[in-house]
Structures are given as C-alpha cells and as structure tokens.
Structure 1
Amino acid sequence: MATSDLDQQGLLKSGGFNNSPEDDDENDPSAMSLIDHLEELRWRIFKCLIAVAVGVVIAFIFRNQLIHLLDAPLPLTANTLGGKQRLTMTGLGEAFTVTIKLSIVFGLVFALPVILYQLWAFISPGLYEREKKHAVPFIVLGLVLFIIGVALGYFILQFPVSFLINFGAENFNELISANSYFSFVSFFLLLFGAVFELPLVLTFLALIGIVTESFLKSKRAVAHVAMWAAATVVTPGGDLYSPVFIGVALSILYEFSILLIHFTVKKDSADELA
C-alpha cells in the first residue's frame, strides 16, 4: 500500500496534476503560444483585407459621385473646357489608375470600423478588465474623430487648392492632372483624419500607464509650440489658412485629451478602490 501511494504521488507530479502556479501558467489552455498568436494575427489581417476589398468595390461602384465630390474645391478657372471643369489625363491608363487609387483610399476609410475592432480584439487579451471595457467607446470615438477631421479637411481644402492654382496663374497655364490632384486631396484629407485621432492615442497611452494627466499638463507649453511648428511643416499647400486650422485643431485636441484622460483614468481608479 505504501509503495502504491508513492507511485500515485509520483504520477500526480509527473503527469501535470500539480497545482503549483508555475504549472498552472504553463498548462493553462487559455494561454496562447507564439504560433497561436501569429495564427490569430494572420486571420485578423485577413478579415481586415476582406473589409478593405469590400470597401474598394463599393467605392469603385460609386466612383463618379466620389470624383465629383472631390473635384468640387477646384476653382472655376481651373482646367475649364467647354464650360466645365475637367482634370487632365496625361497617360493612356491614368483615368483607370486614379480611380483604383481613390477606390483603395475610400476602401480603407469604409473598412476603418472593422480595422479598429480587429486591432482591439487582438490586443485586448493582454489588457486588464478595466481597460477592456473601453473598447466600444474608443472605437466609436475614433470613428467620430476621424469623420470630423476629414470633414474639416474637406472644408479647408479649397484654400490650399486655390492658392496653388492661382500662385503661378500670371506666368503659367496650368493643366492639372487627375493623378496629382487626387493624390494631393487624398493625402490632405487623410492627414486631417489622422490628426484628429490624437485624443484617442494619448488616452490609450494614459490607460496603460505610459503618460499621465500631470505629465501632459506640465509639457503643455512645449507641446503647443511643437504642434504649431509641425502644422506649418507637414501641411501641404503653402497657403496661410491650412497650418492655422491644423494648429488650432491640434491645440484643442490636446486639451481635450487632458480632459478625457482626467475623467477616464479617474473613473478607473475609483472603480478599483471600490
């Protein structure tokens, strides 16, 4: 009987039935190996690509409406032909190439909700429960801020376009190609959309402990100067209005980030104490 008991104890230890924390961590079925993480990442990227492909198809179907929407900021004197504004096509396949590029850009925009969700779903297993509960609000806030940024960029677009077209009007006869115009417009709108994600990025960094409200407040003056300097450099167009709009937007978004962090992190701390 004694020998049998010893054998059973040895079997329990060698067979993985030991209840030590180390063994529990290693044998936890919910724990994912590196291969499992890579496999999950591959499937989430695949789902994002499917969403982008669907968005590209939708954008291609409505390509005429999108093109008319984007060329509306053109001045009335630009590329006028037969009483209508027409962008120049400099190559045989440029019209098709430009349409595909626009479809891809709008496909990415249409797929943004899916991309944000898949990104959050991939990183959420490594977060605490108090951080996971912010998933839906963050995704919604990210979409709203991106849309507001693109809308503001579309409103401001007329200023850099008019400035660039009229700058050399006295000396040059500008024929604006479709490729150059839509590349500029796409970059301009995406820049505004990305800029408006600043509160989302800073709040997420605060939730995981990289930045704090007091740190952002202490660096407020330096941050505002740096953001206004960056606005004058990264803003395409060369006009005076666009950097001012971006600088004002960045300053407002920075202060909004501090306010958002104050209420979000404070609420999480109160929940932990409770």
Structure 2
Amino acid sequence: MATSDLDQQGLLNLGGDNSPEDDDENDSSAMSLIDHLEELRWRIFKCLIAVAVGVVIAFIFRNQLIHILDAPLPLSANNVGGNHGLTMTGLGEGFTVTIKIAIVFGIVFALPVILYQLWAFISPGLYDREKKHAVPFIMLGLVLFVLGVALGYFILQYPVSFLVNFGAENFNELISASSYFSFVSLFLLIFGAIFELPLVLTFLAMIGIVTEHFLKSKRAVAHVGMWAASTIVTPGGDLYSPIFIGISLSILYEFSILLIHFVVKKDTEEEMA
C-alpha cells in the first residue's frame, strides 16, 4: 500500500502542476535567448520606422533646414561673381547632401522613440529602484541634448567665420555644400553628446564607479582640464568658442554632482529603510 501511494504521488508530480521548478520554466515572463533576440529585432525595426518617418519629415522641410544650417556662414563666403552661397562640386552633390541632412535630422526627430525602445528592452532586467529613474532620465537626456545642439548652433558662427576669413587674403575659397554641412552636422551632434555628461556621471555613480565625494575632491583638476580641452578641441582660433565651451562644461560638471547627490543619496536611504 505504501508503495502504491508513492507511485500515485510520483504520477501526480510528473504532471508538473505542483513543481516550483516547472512553474518557473513555464512562466511566460521567463524569456529564452530566441525570445530576447526576437524582441530586439522588433524594437530595432520600430526605431528604424521612427527614423524613416523623421527622414521624410526632414526631407519635406529640407529648404527650411538648409536655410537654418547655412545661416552662420559669413556673407564673404563663396562671394564670387556676385553669387553668395555654397558650391556644388559634383553632379549629384545637391541631392546627396540633402539626403544626409534629412538622415541626421531624422535620427534627431526619432530620438525619443529610440530612447524609449532602448529603455523598454532593458527595463525587465533592472531593479525597481533603477526602473523608476528611467523615464525621468530619458526626458532629462532629451532636454540636455536639445540644449547642447542649441548652444552649438549659437557658437557655430564663431569658428565658421574664423575658418572662412582666415585665408581670405591669400586664397579664393569655394566652400562645397558637402564639406560645410558635414562640418556643421558633426559639430552640433558633438555638442548634443557632450551635454549628456551629467547622465553618464550619474550612471557611473549608481553602479559605484565614481562617487559624489570623488567628483568634489577632483573639482579643481576637472575644471582646469575641461577648460584646457575646450581650447584644444575648438575647430577654430576664435576667442569666444573656448569660453562658451568651458563655461558649459563647468556647469555640466557641477550639475552632475548635484544630480548624483539627490539620486544616489535617495536610493541609499530607501535601501536602508
């Protein structure tokens, strides 16, 4: 009888209804590697769709965008035969340059969707205290990126004017549309990326690589280094660009310390509670 009872219990266990391990394996939230790759594929596809929509919008408003981007160009540039403007050096350069501009702005327009899809993909693997920071960080990242691009556009006139007028006495400069818009696009995107410094430092603080105390102790060295770097990386010899860049980096560094103080300290207090 005892053997018969054990056999009946074994048959019941084979059904998997009462096994915690089987419940975990059959849990719909437990995704396999194939499921993760499939989810990643669809999220990348959604990002590409958002970029494509942004490219179409940018291409529709291409004339307005080109007018905004070439506004910092001095009136003396390409002023040959009474004509002012950028020069096309190839048969299809006008079309290819327009496509490049549309792609750059399409990515910028799709940035909210890209950041959301990235967060949605990694959020299942985050702790609850990390998930609650995701949406505010995404919004803050967008705001900082826009501020960086706006500041870069304001500063752009100084290095462009310097570079155009530097050889005006000895050379007849013909600035091609491709070289100018490539320079402008890279310049603005770099400024947008630099303004993400507070988020990068805060993330490093959350995983324990840097601390608020460390940043404060290295404050003097950091400011001197950033101001020195601003004089080197500026693509021109004008006086104003390094000043604006140095001030921006100093403000971003101090804002990073402030952000780390509130975010990391709050998380520590919640863990100890």
Same fold (TM over 0.5): yes
Query: For 1:173-214, what per-residue CA distance to the aligned partner results, in whole angstroms no more than 9, with x for missing partners?
Result: 101110010001001111111000111122223233333222
- Match of 1:85, SS state, is coil
Does the 8 Å CA contact 2:201/2:256 hold for their aligned counterparts?
yes
Aligned mates of 2:71, 2:224 — CA distance in 1: 34
- Number of the residue aligned with 2:171: 172
- Match of 1:157, SS state, is helix
The structural deviation recorded for 1:126 is: 1.1
Identity among equivalent positions (%) equals 85
Query: For 1:55-107, what per-residue CA distance to the aligned partner results, in whole angstroms no more than 9, with x for missing partners?
Result: 00000000000000011111111123575631000000000010000000000
Q: Output the amino acid matched with 1:9.
A: Q
- Number of the residue aligned with 1:36: 35
Aligned mates of 1:99, 1:237 — CA distance in 2: 26
Q: Output the amino acid matched with 1:2.
A: A
The structural deviation recorded for 1:15 is: 4.8
- Number of the residue aligned with 2:7: 7
Aligned mates of 1:230, 1:44 — CA distance in 2: 37
- Number of the residue aligned with 1:64: 63
The structural deviation recorded for 1:154 is: 0.5
User: CA separation of 1:204/1:2 partners in 2, compared to 1, >3 Å: closer, same or farther?
Assistant: same
Aligned mates of 1:17, 1:217 — CA distance in 2: 57
- Number of the residue aligned with 1:249: 248
Query: For 1:101-155, what per-residue CA distance to the aligned partner results, in whole angstroms no more than 9, with x for missing partners?
Result: 0000000110010011111111111111111111221111111111111110010
- Number of the residue aligned with 1:113: 112
Matched length = 273
Aligned mates of 2:220, 2:114 — CA distance in 1: 34
Aligned mates of 1:67, 1:79 — CA distance in 2: 16
- Number of the residue aligned with 2:49: 50
Q: Output the amino acid matched with 2:149.
A: V
- Number of the residue aligned with 1:193: 192
Q: Does 1:267 align with 2:255?
A: no
Aligned mates of 1:230, 1:120 — CA distance in 2: 32
Aligned mates of 2:121, 2:252 — CA distance in 1: 27
Query: For 1:16-60, what per-residue CA distance to the aligned partner results, in whole angstroms no more than 9, with x for missing partners?
Result: 45655x666545431222211111111111111111110000000
User: CA separation of 1:230/1:123 partners in 2, compared to 1, >3 Å: closer, same or farther?
Assistant: farther
- Higher mean alpha-carbon deviation, 75-84 vs 250-259, is at 75-84
- Number of the residue aligned with 1:73: 72
Report the RMSD for the aligned CA atoms in angstroms.
2.1
User: CA separation of 1:218/1:25 partners in 2, compared to 1, >3 Å: closer, same or farther?
Assistant: farther
Does the 8 Å CA contact 2:17/2:23 hold for their aligned counterparts?
no
Does the 8 Å CA contact 2:47/2:113 hold for their aligned counterparts?
yes
Aligned mates of 2:237, 2:34 — CA distance in 1: 49
Aligned mates of 1:13, 1:84 — CA distance in 2: 87
- Number of the residue aligned with 1:235: 234
Aligned mates of 1:216, 1:173 — CA distance in 2: 49
Alignment of 1:63-102 (within 5 A): 63-80=62-79, 85-102=84-101
Aligned mates of 1:12, 1:247 — CA distance in 2: 72
Q: Output the amino acid matched with 1:168.
A: G
- Number of the residue aligned with 1:161: 160
Q: Output the amino acid matched with 1:189.
A: L
Q: Output the amino acid matched with 2:175.
A: I
For structure 1, list consecutive stretches of 5 or more residues without a partner in the other structure: none
The structural deviation recorded for 1:244 is: 2.9
